[in-house]
Structure 1
Amino acid sequence: MKTVIKTQRMILRPFTAEDADDIWPCMTTNLARYMRWERPASAEDFEKIWRKWPVQLAEESNCVFIARNNQDQSFIGLFGMHGFKTPSPRLGLWVREELHRQGLGPEGIGGIMNWCRKYYSPDYFIYPVAEENSPSRRLVEGLGGKPVDVEQDPKFTLIIYHIPA
């Protein structure tokens, strides 16, 4: 799958190995506090994770999109579409900390949702959010998401949202 998604400020495309060096320094402990994952301890540990992403893409099960600024190609964040060929793909994202509160999260998620709607016709999207993560809850609610369930993760309580397709 060769996909490029363009939004007002970003270009999103599937992750490649060449992107890893831009991502690793931005994976902070503070950023990971509301993520289901912990910050990898080293660039080598991160490599063990990202090596799986192209395989998952080739299997058409998951796609990790890298977001870059469409002006200078600087790294913005990662946007995930997990199970993109299923009736209910799961969304996730993180934007580098110094770019928070600029509307990049909704812009990128909106772009990949539109891509998925065009090519795969989902019934709805799933978006899990840590209960304490108010900015992400506002983001998903702004996209029309409604809470439908609660799950206990080892790190925190997750609110499971459904976003209409």
Structure 2
Amino acid sequence: MELLELEISTSRLLLQTISMKYQEDIFKEFNQEITTYMYTKPPKHISETEDFINNSLSEIKKGENLVLVILNNNSFKFLGCTGIHQINSNQPELGIWLKKSAHGKGYGLETIIALKTWAEENLDFQYLVYCADKANIPSRRIPEKLGGKIIREYKKTNLSGRVLNILEYAIPKAG
């Protein structure tokens, strides 16, 4: 399967392999507010975003991770990024972030359902992992709506120095 040219469509969204075409959008939208509940921190310079994209493309080529941009499938406007990390493991991890103006519209759940469906059709795994900070209720609703159960809780200090209270969910394969 050619992951560098992957496209996954839903009724409202188009997920496609990350590219330099979106560096300005990612740099602008991946800010301090968006990263509050994430391990990483926002880039200070666009070169950091370019490095992220280049590293993502390298990991995709190696078949280790899948990193996609989330676009509105009518306007092709950038909405955020998503991915599956450790795609060849028994427990691949799903991840997502949406720009602030895309919050509260159901795009997160729609994206993760599309990724889960793609993973079930293309990967061999035991279950999918989804991590969310205990205080990030909208993010926690995503795995919970997909039948995810908390399998682990732990604290982790993010790169901005904030202590996160992580809930790790296991999302089962469809019935």
Query: How large is the RMSD of aligned CA atoms in angstroms?
Result: 1.0
Q: Does 1:158 align with 2:166?
A: yes
Q: Size of the alignment, in residue pairs?
A: 165
Match of 2:86 among 74, 83, 93: 83
The residue identity in structure 1 corresponding to 2:41 is E
Q: Does 1:128 align with 2:136?
A: no
Give the Å deviation of 1:121: 3.0
The residue identity in structure 1 corresponding to 2:166 is L
In the alignment, what sits opposite 1:41? 44
In the alignment, what sits opposite 1:74? 77
Unaligned residue ranges in structure 2 (runs of 5+): 158-162
Give the distance between the partners of 1:112 and 1:25, measured in 2 at CA.
25
Partner SS for 2:141: helix
Task: Name the TM-score, length of structure 1 as normaliser.
Answer: 0.96
Partner SS for 1:73: coil
Percent identity, aligned pairs only, is 26
Q: Give matches, 1:137-148, under 5 Å.
A: 137-148=140-151
Give the Å deviation of 1:130: 0.8
Query: 2:133, 2:164 within 8 Å by CA — same for their partners in 1?
Result: yes
Give the Å deviation of 1:95: 0.8
In the alignment, what sits opposite 2:23? 20
Give the Å deviation of 1:85: 2.0
Question: Any runs of at least 4 consecutive aligned residues in structure 1 with deviations exceeding 6 A, and if so which?
Answer: none
In the alignment, what sits opposite 1:108? 111
Partner SS for 2:33: helix
Partner SS for 2:105: coil
Unaligned residue ranges in structure 1 (runs of 5+): none
Give the Å deviation of 1:123: 1.5
Give the Å deviation of 1:23: 1.5
Give the Å deviation of 1:117: 0.7
